[in-house]
Amino acid sequence: MKKFGIFAAALFAAVAFTSCEPKPGPTPDIDNLVEDGFYAVGEACPVKTVNDANAVLAQMAQGINEVLMDQDKLPWEQAKRDGMWEKFIYLEGGKDFELILKEGENSTIYGANLALDTINTDKGEQEHLKGSLVIGQKMKVEKSGLYHIVLDLNKDGKLDLTGGPQIIVVPVNWAVTVSNNDVEASQVEVKSATEIVWKWDAVEIKPSDWFKFKDFVTGWKIQLDDAGAVKAHTNMGTDSLGNLINGTGNLPAIEKYGKYAISLTYKLAKGDVGNSYSYTIDLVEELVPEYPETMYMIGAEFGNWDWASDGIVSMAPVHSHDGMFWCTRQITADQGFKFCAVREWNGDFATLGTSDVTVKDGNLVVAETGLYTVIVDLAGNKVSVAPAKVYGIGDAFGGWDEGKYPFTINADGTATITATAAGEVRMYTEIEGNTGNWWQSEYIVLDGKIEYRGAGNDQTRVPVTAGQVVTLNFNAGTGTIQ
């Protein structure tokens, strides 16, 4: 058993690549391959020849083009690119490997004149092995380790390539990223050429965090051509069934704030890239949460995605509920928005674990334009978006019965109510599940502005006479009593 305490250093340090001419040897039994596709075989690979009994494990997966998902908004299955293939595979340094393409009764052996070249990744330009596919060529790498092989036959001719069909071979070092904070593995154990385990001893995760696996060096994706028409995912999340899939959603949210032991296991497998991976996550220490004092909402209509904009929504804390924030806003259908505890792209999120909301392209959206109350409940691990319910309460509106004196919600998003008697203006937005505590989401109109009570004490009282109309414009943050 080989153990590498600092696997990344051994894998990434001064990687040099060479190619060599084919050597005489037995002709592979191409007909022994059951399915069409590319196969990675050779002395450098776990599967030496296509005659091996386990040759099916050497089959590459059809490549997923990240561009089709990001720009064209296609689902994962439809983002598969004809002629693009990829595989995570352990390669022994200094030994030959080749790629065999089977297409019906036809077969072709491919290799490349590989050399260190500039490759665009999510973390900027880096030097990795790159080359143009050549028929009958063999390849080798200098350093042993797990590599991500991606090739593209450029069948549609759309790639910006000077050398035709393209191949890249990139060393891999998985990290856990928690709300965009990358955590390197504390231990990487290479059990064999077909099994590698990454372990994280104590990763701190909150219920509000999202997390998944991504390559520590290249980030989210690597680019095959200069124009960026084809990009391969270098991250993994889970599908609706809990299977690891490259380029999909986050891992399932955790329920308790704490430190977690996480393991990611690679085992050579056929089919989709994720078939080679499985993971475990176990709570090792529960922590007492420390909730932020602020929460902001940003979106197409709320600051135009610019954290420096005055249009960013500063959400009000719900009194007596640590980690719970709310706002009422007119929201246009299909216009995205999300949240962050600070005014920057650092820990932003669109939803939490138990939320029943609509997410599109990583942002929250509503199906119909209207006035909504948005609640972020970090303690309850939930985000909710529901039609706003705005009420008056007290002598000016008829009494102190909660939920009895609703505002009229107008088409333009404003809300109005008429006082039926002289008294003090008391009003609030209903927080679902918080019946009996209307004052915890209360506000007043003072000097033409809506002033939220938040976590503070009783506010200045504002008098009203019978027949006066209170009008609230939540998006503008203004109100009138006339």
Per-position b or e across 426-443, b if 16+ CB within 10 A of its CB: bbbbbbeebeebbebbbb
Give strand ranges (E) for 206-336: 211-215, 221-223, 231-233, 235-238, 244-246, 258-267, 277-286, 296-299, 313-314, 316-317, 324-331
Q: Which two tokens stand for residue 405?
A: 């004196």
Nearest to 20 by CA among 168, 137, 108, 133: 137
Per-position b or e across 241-270, b if 16+ CB within 10 A of its CB: eeebbbbbebbebbeebbebbbbbbbebbb
- Domains in the chain: boundaries: 2-285, 296-387, 390-481
| Angstrom distance (rounded) from CA 19 to CA 113 | 5
| Angstrom distance (rounded) from CA 69 to CA 83 | 17
What pLDDT does residue 16 have? 38
| Alpha-carbon distances of 390 from 357, 374, 413, rounded to whole Å | 21, 13, 12
Give strand ranges (E) for 92-246: 96-103, 106-112, 115-121, 124-135, 138-141, 145-152, 166-171, 174-178, 181-184, 187-192, 195-205, 211-215, 221-223, 231-233, 235-238, 244-246
What pLDDT does residue 43 have? 97
Q: What is the pLDDT along the chain (482 residues), one digit of tens a residue?
A: 333 333 333 333 333 334 444 444 445 544 444 578 899 999 999 999 888 888 899 999 999 999 999 888 899 999 999 999 999 999 999 999 999 998 887 888 999 989 999 999 988 999 999 998 889 889 999 999 999 999 998 888 877 766 568 899 999 999 999 988 899 999 999 999 999 999 999 999 988 788 999 999 899 999 988 888 899 999 999 988 889 999 998 999 898 899 999 999 999 999 999 999 999 999 999 998 889 999 999 999 999 999 999 999 999 999 999 999 999 999 999 999 999 999 999 999 999 877 889 999 999 999 999 999 999 998 888 999 999 999 999 999 999 999 999 999 999 999 999 999 999 999 999 998 888 899 999 999 999 999 999 999 999 999 999 999 999 999 999 999 99
- Rg of the chain over Cα atoms, rounded to whole angstroms, equals 29
* Residue 215 region by backbone torsions, left for phi larger than 0, else alpha for psi between -120 and 50, else beta: beta
The amino acid at residue 57 is L
What pLDDT does residue 236 have? 96
| Angstrom distance (rounded) from CA 460 to CA 41 | 77
What pLDDT does residue 2 have? 35
Q: How many CA atoms lie within 13 A of 37 on its CB side?
A: 22
What pLDDT does residue 447 have? 95
Q: SS3 for 126?
A: strand
Q: Residue 455 in contact with residue 317, Cβ under 8 Å?
A: yes
Which architecture, in CATH terms, is 296-387?
A: Sandwich (2.60)
Q: Which CATH number fits domain 390-481: 2.60.40.3610, 1.10.10.10, 3.40.50.720, 3.40.50.1100?
A: 2.60.40.3610
Q: Residue 42 in contact with residue 28, Cβ under 8 Å?
A: no
What pLDDT does residue 208 have? 76
